[in-house]
Amino acid sequence: MQQIVSITSQGQITIPAMFRRLLGLDQYNKAAVSSENNKIIVEPIPDIMKLAGILQKKALKGKTIDQIVKKEEKAMEKEIARKYIKNK
């Protein structure tokens, strides 16, 4: 699947609706952007709040939501950095 998009003077593009639907992206999502073999790659970043329930109760015991969110954000940052370094 391919579509042509315009690049604005500020370097912005609009992701076509069919790709946003395909990837489950909406205005509240985040995405990681990288480059590989002279191509730009956009990968959706999962919303950690949608992952609720997958952690074991023991891991959550005694932790506030803010502590859990910070821990998950750090884990995501590490994973994104790992992918970036791997692709360099």
Q: Cβ(7)–Cβ(58) under 8 Å?
A: no
Residue 26 reports pLDDT greater than 90: no
Q: What is the pLDDT of residue 37?
A: 93
32 and 54 housed in the same domain: no
Domain count across the chain: 2
32 and 70 housed in the same domain: no
- Taking only the tens place, the pLDDT of each residue in 34-86 is 888 999 988 888 766 666 555 555 566 677 878 878 888 888 888 888 887 87
36 and 53 housed in the same domain: no
Whether the model clears a pTM of 0.85, i.e. scores above it, the answer is: no
Residue 70 identity: K
53 and 87 housed in the same domain: yes
Question: Dihedrals φ, ψ of 14, to 5°?
Answer: -105, 130
> What is the domain range of residue 87?
46-88
50 and 80 housed in the same domain: yes
3 and 39 housed in the same domain: yes
CA triplet 27, 31, 74: central angle to 5 degrees? Answer: 115
DSSP 24: T
Categorize the per-residue pLDDT at 5 as very low, low, confident or very high, splitting at 50, 70 and 90. Answer: very high
35 and 24 housed in the same domain: yes
